[in-house]
């Protein structure tokens, strides 16, 4: 029996190792990284660096403006055309160094990037916690892992507007922050994605709860085990037909991560991120009574931690709606409803979430606001539509696969 078990484990490892799923490699400076020799940038300096910057070189590639925004793990530089820079920083003396990579979200283009702010061009003031209206970022970028050799210069234009600073707008990353089809370095609906997604500009996430055959809620988008989401393995077919032990032991997501339980995802989001919104897009009605106690525990845990985070059960269809309404005290369950505004009222949902193809619907959104509810729109990816919805709509947030594009158009508003 033991020999057979060892054989099965070996076969499983062999199958998992044969996965050839492609991705866009993340450029890495490796031993050439100079940030290892630097100190952490003070927290007081970070908001002073944020704002709108003019691009004074290579404007045909990156556009003429960039948004610079700190996040939980580093700095995001984002352009209106989907190009964005995922950067880290440090300082020595009066110089702030910034290093990382850029990526085109609408293609596979990527490359290394190094920048710095000299002491005389803003570094000294920023490190002393003083406003520096004449910040200049100088540096170079390259292609793939080649050394950066093309000049890039950014000049500080202005801080974020009062409209932006006073808003509580939510940028919600789809499938825990990003899709596999966009060839990100981590798998959709994984703990690794929840950790990574803030680097893309998200302030919240949408996740996809399902339930195992033995009643454990887990996160996974599709109804079946397939090579779009997982490495080749021993299990196939209906993902909910397996026990949680089987799923967690024998299924690996495309980049090798384990399928996470819903409880693990919520705990990680509360304890290890600065995310402010979790939208649980329920994939089956039978998961409703299982998910509600998990949601209640997570909300209490967030309260105990002093975390300002919204955790909502999503209602995507009438089956989930009816399952929720069959639950005792259903109107007290914090929920988000994708159906009609009447359904929103019937379940006392905190958020109305219509699909983007229905238009901005400002009259209905205003009704929700008057009733003390929020409204978010899903799932909007085109740069032109994103800009249109931000300019013309009054939604409190957008669900997107391109959070860095939403971030650009949100933070650049005057």
Structure confidence at residue 4 (pLDDT):
42
Q: Do 315 and 404 have their domain in common?
A: yes
Q: Is the overall model pTM greater than 0.95, yes or no?
A: no
Structure confidence at residue 15 (pLDDT):
39
Q: Do 195 and 321 have their domain in common?
A: yes
Beta-carbon contacts of 187 under 8 Å, excluding residues fewer than 6 positions away, are 180, 193, 229, 253, 254, 255, 256, 257
Q: Do 109 and 213 have their domain in common?
A: no
Q: Is residue 224 part of a domain?
A: yes
CB 286 within 8 A of CB 249: no
Structure confidence at residue 28 (pLDDT):
86
CB 311 within 8 A of CB 266: yes
How far apart, in Å, are the Cα atoms of 192 and each of 3, 34, 124, 126? 34, 26, 36, 32
Structure confidence at residue 405 (pLDDT):
98
Residues paired with 397 in a beta bridge? 170, 376
Q: Do 376 and 347 have their domain in common?
A: yes
Of 140, 158, 176, the residue that ends a domain is 158
Structure confidence at residue 22 (pLDDT):
55
How far apart, in Å, are the Cα atoms of 323 and each of 239, 297, 333? 21, 20, 12
Q: Is residue 75 part of a domain?
A: yes
Q: Do 217 and 248 have their domain in common?
A: yes
Q: Is residue 53 part of a domain?
A: yes
3-state helix, strand, coil in the chain (%, to 5): 35, 25, 35
Q: Is residue 331 part of a domain?
A: yes
Structure confidence at residue 316 (pLDDT):
98
Q: Is residue 264 part of a domain?
A: yes
Nearest to 279 by CA among 183, 185, 212, 375: 375
Structure confidence at residue 32 (pLDDT):
74
Q: Do 266 and 319 have their domain in common?
A: yes
Name the strand (E) or helix (H) holding 17.
helix 2-17
CB 274 within 8 A of CB 71: yes
> Distance of alpha carbon 395 from its chain centroid, rounded?
18
Q: Do 365 and 218 have their domain in common?
A: yes
Residue 201 DSSP label: T
Structure confidence at residue 8 (pLDDT):
40
Q: Do 390 and 282 have their domain in common?
A: yes
Q: How many domains would you assign to the chain? A: 2
pLDDT per residue, tens digit, the chain (414 aa), is: 343 443 343 434 333 444 444 568 888 887 778 899 999 999 999 999 999 999 999 889 999 999 999 999 999 999 999 999 999 999 999 999 999 999 999 999 999 999 999 999 999 999 999 999 999 999 999 999 899 999 999 999 999 999 999 999 999 999 999 999 999 999 999 999 999 999 999 999 999 999 999 999 999 999 999 999 999 999 999 999 999 999 999 999 999 999 999 999 999 999 999 999 999 999 999 999 999 999 999 999 999 999 999 999 999 999 999 999 999 999 999 999 999 999 999 999 999 999 999 999 999 999 999 999 999 999 999 999 999 999 999 999 999 999 999 999 999 999
CB 99 within 8 A of CB 33: yes
Beta-carbon contacts of 83 under 8 Å, excluding residues fewer than 6 positions away, are 61, 62, 63, 102, 103, 104, 105, 109
Return d(Cα 273, Cα 166) in angstroms, integer. 22
SS3 317: coil
Q: Is residue 280 part of a domain?
A: yes
Name the strand (E) or helix (H) holding 112.
strand 110-117
242-287 pLDDT, tens digit per residue, is 999 999 999 999 999 999 999 999 999 999 999 999 999 999 999 9
Nearest to 82 by CA among 204, 182, 205, 210: 182
Q: Do 130 and 210 have their domain in common?
A: no
Of 124, 158, 192, the residue that ends a domain is 158
Q: Domain range holding 63?
A: 30-158
Of 158, 193, 219, the residue that ends a domain is 158
Return d(Cα 414, Cα 410) in angstroms, integer. 9
Q: Is residue 251 part of a domain?
A: yes
Q: Do 189 and 270 have their domain in common?
A: yes
Nearest to 397 by CA among 350, 208, 405, 389: 389
State the Cα angle at 235 between 230 and 236, rounded to 5°.
80
Structure confidence at residue 1 (pLDDT):
38
CB atoms within 10 A of CB 347: 20
Alpha helices in 254-378 (DSSP H): 262-272, 288-305, 318-325, 341-347, 362-370
Beta-carbon contacts of 306 under 8 Å, excluding residues fewer than 6 positions away, are none
DSSP annotation string for 32-45: G-SGGGSBPPPGGG
Q: Is residue 2 part of a domain?
A: no
Q: Do 210 and 354 have their domain in common?
A: yes
CATH number of the domain within which 232 lies: 3.20.20.190
Q: Do 170 and 150 have their domain in common?
A: no
């Amino acid at each position: 029996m033991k020999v057979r078990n060892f054989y099965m484990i070996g076969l499983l490892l062999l199958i998992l190792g044969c996965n050839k799923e492609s991705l866009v490699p993340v450029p890495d400076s490796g031993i050439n990284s100079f940030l290892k020799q630097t100190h952490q940038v003070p927290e007081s300096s970070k908001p002073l660096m944020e704002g709108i910057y003019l691009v004074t070189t290579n404007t045909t590639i990156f556009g003429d403006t960039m948004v610079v925004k700190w996040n939980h793990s580093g700095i995001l530089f984002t352009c209106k055309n989907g190009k964005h820079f995922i950067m880290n920083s440090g300082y020595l003396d009066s110089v702030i160094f910034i290093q990382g990579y850029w990526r085109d979200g609408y293609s596979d283009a990527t490359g290394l990037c190094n920048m710095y702010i000299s002491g005389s061009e803003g570094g000294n003031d920023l490190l002393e916690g003083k406003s520096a209206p004449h910040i200049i970022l100088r540096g170079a970028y390259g292609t793939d892992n080649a050394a950066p050799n093309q000049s890039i210069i950014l000049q500080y234009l202005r801080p974020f507007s009062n409209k932006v600073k006073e808003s509580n707008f939510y940028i919600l990353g789809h499938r825990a922050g990003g899709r596999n089809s966009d060839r990100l370095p981590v798998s959709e609906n994984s703990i690794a994605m929840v950790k990574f997604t803030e680097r893309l500009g998200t302030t919240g996430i949408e996740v996809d709860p399902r339930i195992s055959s033995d009643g454990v809620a887990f996160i996974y988008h599709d109804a079946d085990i397939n090579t779009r989401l997982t490495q080749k393995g021993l299990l196939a077919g209906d993902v909910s037909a397996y026990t949680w032990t089987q799923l967690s032991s024998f299924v690996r997501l495309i980049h090798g991560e384990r399928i996470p339980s819903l409880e693990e995802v919520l705990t990680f989001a509360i304890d290890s991120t600065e995310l402010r919104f979790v939208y649980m897009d329920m994939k089956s009605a039978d998961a409703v009574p299982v998910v509600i106690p998990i949601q209640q525990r997570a909300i209490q845990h967030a309260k105990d931690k002093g975390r300002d985070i919204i955790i909502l059960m999503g209602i995507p269809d009438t089956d989930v709606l009816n399952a929720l309404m069959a639950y005792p005290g259903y109107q007290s369950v914090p929920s988000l409803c994708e159906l009609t505004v009447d359904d929103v009222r019937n379940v006392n949902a905190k958020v109305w979430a219509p699909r983007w193809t229905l238009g901005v619907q400002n009259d209905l959104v205003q009704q929700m606001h008057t009733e003390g509810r929020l409204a978010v729109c899903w799932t909007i990816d085109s740069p032109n539509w994103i800009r249109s919805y931000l300019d013309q709509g009054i939604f409190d947030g957008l669900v997107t696969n391109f959070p860095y594009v939403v971030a650009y158009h949100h933070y650049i508003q005057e």
